[in-house]
Structure 1
């Protein structure tokens, strides 16, 4: 039953990830063609970020209160309706910025409930010894979808218009919802308390583990620096490395690197997986520094493959460590705190990119931020829990003794 549930969830979620790629393209095209421009698109994106920040922690609480698939079904239904409303709005020829911002916020807010529930559900679908392989498989599917979705979305939107992209995304949420409806696995759930008390309980679960608390703070610093880098490398790619085509090649290399990292995680299973994950994350500065030296397209492509392979291997190691060592009834809340640190830090880095590069120059900022990436990962190896944490495997039950025969 567990394996069939795993395949069902993987299929539904892959279609949803691909569909998200359609909406990413459709949204940008629709706003630009409606003469909205960068300002309107920025407001839509800001609405999504604000909704994510507001809803993420509450999504984690409800993921732990209810069966995870029930939260996922509700989230998919809301996102389906939001995507369908966007399709209708642009198909009818109308463009209402306030409505589009509201729909984007509703859709992203619903996703903030889906993600912790998805994280809480995954370890229930496979035996403990297969969690790393399952997480690597999901990473591979997600990375592949992030490559295929925008590519297919671009072709579809070019041929049939932005409304077609929103429609495909709505249908992908329907597929994800059907998959979640068919899942048979059930999670044990404890008594409810107040929302604040449950949020605090989730934070206490994090703070009593040095590797988890240190990892969240380290990831926050990492994501601020990475947010700066992600803006500046686009500028370098377009201005120095060959324009939009260079940016496309680099994006493809990042996706390829992610697939390589997930493939390695499928096969390489060290006992101290988390320590190995932080070590592979030390490869990401290679990608950032390649834009400064040698600053050639081929070197940046190679750095992207190497860096993103390390990043995805780390993601698998991190998710597996949480699933192994955090009680299942707390996974939603712990995951939501994890997501929140990322979504707080990344936009901050994006905002800082312009002022920092204007004051100190792009190359200097990239070098410093690459150093921050390295230090934020290397410091984790000084934490005792990070160095010592091992994979959890269920202990096989001892064989039952042979029944004694009654004397004749």
Structure 2
């Protein structure tokens, strides 16, 4: 019997202190996490895993990793340069005027020369920067764990203004016209004017960590209450909603008058702007961070360790690629191929038929650990682990279980946050 916290509000992410676990307990814990359809995007520790989305620019691929490094890699898979920060990198890069921008858990937003990797400037916040910056007319907009959405001059790094929420801002903002849209950890979704004043806000279990999409008339947001919401971009009034079988897992993507979003029910959905379901495609686990749509193909990853290419109009599988870790990243797509990262500490390059061209391994080969801020632990639950549910990888232990008197093994351990456990087994 396992007792663990299921905090994080509506995220329901279990966390464990595995420092004293043996192989059986670790395998059982991982099995439970997978069975519970957990998608722990943000709560990670140092390792080589790649969580964010690569950026392709002028024959180079840019990506950050949980080994604290930001990489520039040639389209042939060779390292051009790397830049080390002081903590892990979840934030996705953006580029403008040959400067690449990204955030780090060390609290900084960085601006680097995209050709040389030389630092141009850094902007310090008082919390982790999960958020991917959005650049519009020379201004960078991004959120921080310190509860602020910042507007920063892209050339100089000078702060223009900051909007303070009641809680962390981990989601990535988008800009459409004269409005900035983003979600915050206080369950509000905000629309701000470009001077930082509130235009409207939508109250509810909104997209705390997920990026919205906008077509000019409607803004689409994924929610922890299982719903995809379509709101008036001008007023924030609810126009329609669609309820999936679990909470929304991915950023919302709008492309060619179709809305794409993934749910923790394992499905990728495609909708018309009026809310009509066009198709859904089922994977074998929770979907990754989001999707990229290009040339009538939807590309996305899943916690089932696969990367998928699906027909954008039909929802039919075109091909898939097996990796050795969860694929939270969605890809950069160029004429030469498709590039995405995995928890197995590799950046993958595949051709347009799904064949692996090369893999680039990050500086650390160990996968990143789960990490839970203690102040988010709220609830507890009890689970009985049956050895039959754990899988072939621990069959070798069944005889010892039987000698101890049963087919159900009872584990008791302290509910804390994981700091030492690597996903997939073993201790650091």
- Using structure 2 for the length normalisation, give the TM-score: 0.23
Q: State the structure with bigger RCO (CA 8 A, min sep 6), 1 or 2.
A: 1
Select the structure that is richer in helix: 1
Higher share of residues assigned strand: 2
